[in-house]
Structure 1
Amino acid sequence: MSNAQPVLEDRTFVAYQSLENYGFIGDLHTVALAGVDGSIDYMCFPHFDSPTVFGALLDDDLGGRFKIAPAVDGSRYKQMYLPDTNVLLTRFLGANGVVEITDFMPVEEMRHTHILIRRVHAVRGPVDLHLECAPRFDYARVGHRAKAKGDEVWFIPNDNSIPTLRLLCAIPVDVVDGDAVVDFTLQSGESVDFVLETVESEERSPAEATDYAEKALQHSMQFWRGWNATMSYRGRWQDMISRSALALKLLTSQKYGSIAAAGTFGIPEEIGGERNWDYRFTWVRDASFTAASLIRLGFTEEASGFIRWIEQRFDESDTPGKLQIMYGIDGRHDLAEATLDHLSGYRDSAPVRIGNGAYEQTQLDIYGELLYAVNLYDELVEPISYALWKDLSAATDWVCDHWRDTDEGIWEVRGGQREFLYSRLTDWVALDRAIRIAQRRSFPAPLARWIQVRDDIHNEIYTGFWSEQKQAFVQSKGSDTLDASALMMPLVDFIAPRDPRWLSTLDAVERELVDDALVYRYRPDTAASDGLEGAEGTFGICSFWFVECLARSGQIDKARLFFEKLHGYANHLGLYAEELDPSGRFLGNYPQAFTHLALVNSALYLNEALERRQR
């Protein structure tokens, strides 16, 4: 586990916590971010891609928060997960008292509705505390009124289509300007629970039972520990891999089977910049890679759910075998992009975008990643159905017809389509894995055509994407730009990891894109235009890809050094965002599935390589 400590604040934006100062909880329907200062500053309710009810992370003044903290500043704080769970513990340590806040969301049978539970416990007291529950509905666009009803406060939106929230309190709470606020004191050993839930009806809520919070806590710990115990991996860096797996699990939708790319939207890739995207949706690419990584760890339920979700998307398609690159968590197709101009953005990084215009893009790679995951599923989990095979066969035929097309590529550039290496590579993967499945299962397939197209793509990559000047495979046809997505070439078995052309490419990537153990995806000043101003940080997924490539090339000691350096860039909980800035601070949406799945994959290979060397 990382030994990183919470980051001291830049006084320019003192109201905003550094992104790495947040823990991450959820109920397999949505997630919330809880800061080391005791404030829940981000939560979409009731689903991953629902509007926020707490959004102070994106506008400290307008966004809304749910904060519980010592009434007097000056406490030191620590934050951790209860071992092998997604139950978060934040501890405040002061000269006169110590208090703990346990944050979690009930799961499965204890989740009668959408619920957030915050338990406050005085380890040593007395401790004076302040509570502020200030929801702001629909991204702070819809007002509300608050009404105290006994030991409850109801937050009733002005829009009847938005669910009412109810805060159950074990102590009297005041209503001030639509918010629930209270100052209270806990003596040593005393605890108090606060339960925030959606109101389904006027009937008595199960959460009103005096022992509900305790039962929900025990159930949640048992659920997460039981799930984590099914992991098949037993090797080095167990804690880091376990935490990554738990983070990936939190991004899966129990209801639909879809998998979110990240927990948040609107977190900038450059502070003050415009590269701010909504990642709360299901990309076929990201979800396929996530499912594959979970399969490797022995978790199969999530992959099965995703396969069912994909089958539904195929059934909805107007063109046999054709998919959008991404969908809403519930499978909806329209993800029209809009800006929330009333929000200032995280540390004044505007615009804040919801929706994602990339859903209309052409990205040829998605079939390769999908078939990569399905091949693993068919081989290691259970044989796929004939109905799914017919969809995959149609998708493979579509790739045969369109692999020469231009597209926006894996990085979703907005500056015009090109012929990208990564798209060609993953089209090769689509053909290669489809052939493997067909041959293993004796499925009907036009194998002669598929093999010919696969070989044509292979030949074109060597002739059209190899730069004699760079002595490397390059980002797009005719360019001399390096792109870290080329690191996938040996990872999908396209090229031998010690092939001279690959070793030359790996050296070129290290010269131009690697900074310490961190890897840029490309250099924006020379790469295909993404249509945006500003810079970006190093990419987590690219950094872990590089580690695995080093290990596969035989540079095992160097790979281990880089891998363990990357551990030092995790936050105090072992979590990662999409990117890191030059000072090691998190950038981009958080937590990021891409980064955690690549950590898992690189760790599995590196551990295996170290074991082989010891034998």
Structure 2
Amino acid sequence: MVPDLQIHPSWSPLADLALLSDRHSAALVGKDGTVSWLCFPRFDSPSQFAALLDPAAGHWSLCAVGCTAVSRHYWDDTFVLETVFQTRTGKLRVIDTMALGETKDPHRLGAVAPHVLLRSAECLDGSVEVEMRFQPRPDYGQVVPGIELTRGGALARNGNEQLLLTSPIPVVVQDGAVLASAQLRAGERANFALQWSRQGKTALSALPGTEIERHLETTAAAWREWSRVHQTYEGPYRDQVYLSGRLLHALSYQPTGAIIAAPTTSLPEEIGGERNWDYRYAWIRDASLTMRALWVAACPDEAADLFTFLAEAEASYEPGKHLQILFGVGGEWQISERILPHLAGWRGSRPVRIGNGAWSQSQLDLYGELIGAAHRLREQLGELAPPLRRFLVAVVDAAARHWREADHGIWEIRGTPQHFLHSKLMCWVAVHQGVDLAERLGAEHRVPDWSETALTLRRVIEREGWSRRAGAFTQSFGSTELDASALLMSRVGFLPPTDPRVLATIDAVANRLTDERGLVRRYLTTSGVDGLPGGEGAFLPCTFWLAEALAVVGRVRRAREVFELAAGHANDLGLLAEEADSATGELLGNFPQAFSHVALINAAWAISQAEERAETDRINSGAPMARRRARRPSGSRGG
């Protein structure tokens, strides 16, 4: 598909975007060569470019004039992007990445990232006119910085921050933008760079072309070495699993191990709607699912780093209070939400928000997420330090104390708190697995109380969570509304996959929560439970949950069909958003979305395990082997 270069990024499809990351911050670049989103120096820093949300909010474009066709791909096992622009007179290749810095330790990828965005343009054939436009608008487009020409480029200043553009082509400043153009012939190359620093911290100077090329080479080599050391999964959908594992690493904040939900804010769940949230933070509720995915697609070290971040972020937890839901990537507690009224929003979807008000909500499922994560990593964590043991005991006690309360649930509804089934289920996980961890926690004396609470919770969930009228486990106690989170009941060990109620719930979700494309909705927004107007698209993580649930109960062929339907909504680079429009299939929501890729990995692993079980059954019955067994990553693979 050839992008219409007259269409501004704030109106282009989200599928046109590619992610660049140095594991501190992220940029998004479109098929037209426009960097329309960039935050320095952290994922959650104010943007330098936000044209994705408003035409006036800053961008950096580099492209061929008169483009007639575009193709692109990531270099193998990296987040180095290559885009080829075809014109009537020639072909231009642009290579984009964010420099990782040089380190010989693949476990510290990005530890010395210099906060530099690299762009290299080379004419491959004929001759091509190259155009470059650099228009920084810091602080979400609210600042027009002072720009001065320098030797080899231009410098933009904003308060104590500065951006230095390196350009091998002579530039001019016009209306707050830096412009350049040149004719390149076959074999000629122009290397650009954008460096960020705080004034007084680093003296910036233009980067020589050879140094830009060295940064490109070392960044590609670093990504490939990380992939070589960390990615050993062998099973169905290997390529998608590996890309998803790299993406989770790209969305992790290297100094702390925090994994953000997405690198963007306010990309809507419905075009023109107001369900627009800032996802540039680390959610506790995703922890257990994410750690399981990291175990399959990356390295146990990444999972341990994430758990350490979560435990340290919650370190000041006071017994009797609720756990906090989300944190800044550096462990910040207060993530106050505010609206930026000056931004028009992607396709006019307003309001544009920064911060996230969910940080102060009560969500009871967090107790189970944290204890479930500790349980999964119990061998990797080794002997627990006394403060961590006391904290985990307090979490289990909190689940036992608070489970009877209503809360805002896994979907962070902004309506009236409910007695959500998933919240009660995860409280059960906390006390049930707390019993299993009691000896490691030095809490053997708590086992009788925790065991009694787990039994009480089981009885209440089975009695109040099952609806005979709905023929399924439902969204909340006493309700007939369905919720895709009920698909997780078997996965967390509450009921065996063969339980008729598990099978009935899977069928109910598949029949009554799927849209016309076969994708799964979280719940029906028409119920009014979330307290927000309008609707949303189908939820891609929930579609992968359905694929996983089908695999676990042995419906492997159908599981593959659902998996491939969801995975088929990835863009040309394999990246997934949070949702897809039920009518058109167009990607919606913040992009790319970690949770979607987490769910993809876990579903692929479930399918591999289901096929292994079927293979074992065939072997035991004397039938020929039909499929090579999937290999789970080894816990001793150097991670």
TM-score, scaled to structure 1? 0.94
Q: Quickly say closer, same or farther: Cα 1:287–1:182, change in 2 above 3 A.
A: farther
Note the aligned Cα RMSD (angstroms): 2.1
Offset at residue 560 of structure 1 (A): 1.1
Report 1:75-474 matches (<5 A): 75-109=68-102, 111=112, 113-157=114-158, 160-161=159-160, 163-200=161-198, 205=204, 208-229=207-228, 230-319=230-319, 322-380=322-380, 382-439=382-439, 444-474=444-474
CA distance in 1, matches of 2:72, 2:244: 17
Report the CA distance shift for 1:386/1:14 in structure 2 as closer, same or farther (over 3 A).
closer
1:46-72 per-residue CA deviation (whole Å, 9 max, x = no partner) reads 111111111011012x11111011122
Can you list the C-alpha shifts for 1:272-315, whole angstroms capped at 9, x where unaligned? Answer: 11110000011111244323310233512322322222232232
How far does residue 9 in structure 1 lie from its aligned partner after superposition? 7.0
The change in CA–CA distance for 1:131 and 1:541 in structure 2 (over 3 A counts) is same
- Deviation by residue 1:83-116 (Cα, 9 ceiling, x = unmatched): 1111111111223211111111111437563111
1:510 maps to: 510
Residues in 2 aligned to 1:317 and 1:197: alpha-carbon distance in whole angstroms: 39
CA distance in 1: counterparts of 2:74 and 2:381, whole angstroms:
30
Contact 2:116 2:195 in 1 (8 A): yes
User: Cα distance, 1:441 vs. partner?
Assistant: 6.9
How far, CA to CA, are the matches of 2:101 and 2:434 in structure 1? 36
For 1:226, give the aligned amino acid.
Answer: E
For residue 226 of structure 2, give the secondary structure of its aligned residue in structure 1. helix
Corresponding position of 1:3: none
Pair 1:69-2:63 in alignment:
yes
Distance 1:340 1:495 in 2: 46
The aligned length equals 604
Decide whether the 8 Å contact of 2:384 with 2:441 is kept in 1: no
Query: Is structure 2 residue 564 aligned with structure 1 residue 571?
Result: no
What's the offset of the Cα at 1:17? 1.5
Change (3 A) 1:14 1:437: closer
- Among candidates 21, 25, 32, match of residue 30 of structure 1: 25
> Which has the larger displacement, 466-475 or 513-522?
513-522
Partners in 2 of 1:584 and 1:53 — Cα distance? 31
8 A contact 1:206–1:212 mirrored in 2? no
Q: Is the 8 A contact 1:80 1:89 kept in 2?
A: yes
Provide the residue aligned with 2:557 in structure 1.
557
Over residues 470-526 of structure 1, what are the superposed CA-to-partner deviations in whole Å (9 max), with x where a residue is unaligned? 111111111110000101101111111121111111111111112344100111112
My pick for the range that moved more, 559-568 or 132-141, is 559-568
Structure 1: any 5+ residue segments left out of the alignment? 1-5
Q: Is the 8 A contact 1:321 1:391 kept in 2?
A: no
Is the Cα–Cα contact under 8 Å of residues 313 and 323 in structure 1 kept in the other structure? no
- AA of the residue aligned to 1:179: A
Counterpart of 1:26, as a letter, is: S
**Range 444-453 or range 43-52, more displaced:** 444-453
Q: Encode CA deviations 1:510-565: one digit per residue, 9 max, x unaligned.
A: 11112344100111112x52121111011011000000111111111111122122
1:181 Cα deviation from its structure 2 partner: 0.7
Q: Percent identity?
A: 38
The letter of the residue matching 2:607 is L
Mapped to 2, the partners of 1:479 and 1:407 lie a distance apart of: 15
Quote how far apart the aligned CAs of 1:131 are: 0.3
Greater shift, 326-335 or 307-316, is seen at 307-316
Question: Using a 3 Å threshold, how does the CA distance of structure 1 residues 218 and 603 change in structure 2: closer, same or farther?
Answer: same
Q: Which runs of 5+ in 2 are unaligned?
A: 104-111, 617-639
Shift, 1:444, TM fit = 4.2
Contact 1:577 1:592 in 2 (8 A): yes
Rate the CA distance shift 1:347–1:329 in 2: closer, same or farther, 3 A. same
TM-score normalized by the length of structure 2: 0.91
Which deviations, in whole Å up to 9, do the C-alpha atoms of 1:375-404 show, x marking residues without a partner?
111135645434312111111111111010
Distance 1:445 1:154 in 2: 64
Secondary structure of the residue that 1:164 maps to in structure 2? Answer: strand
Q: CA contact under 8 A between 1:7 and 1:20: conserved in structure 2?
A: no
User: Conserved in 2, the CA contact under 8 Å of 1:261 and 1:283?
Assistant: yes
Q: Distance in 1 between the 2:531 and 2:96 partners? A: 40
Q: Secondary structure at the match of 2:274?
A: coil
Residue pair 2:74, 2:573 contacting (<8 A) in 1 also: yes
Contact 1:86 1:224 in 2 (8 A): yes
Provide the rounded CA distance (Å) in 2 between the counterparts of 1:432 and 1:539: 29
Q: Give, in angstroms, the shift of residue 321 of structure 1.
A: 7.9
The SS at the match of 2:192 is strand
In 2, Cα distance between equivalents of 1:488 and 1:10: 44
Give the Cα–Cα distance (whole angstroms) in 1 for the partners of residues 505 and 303 of structure 2: 33
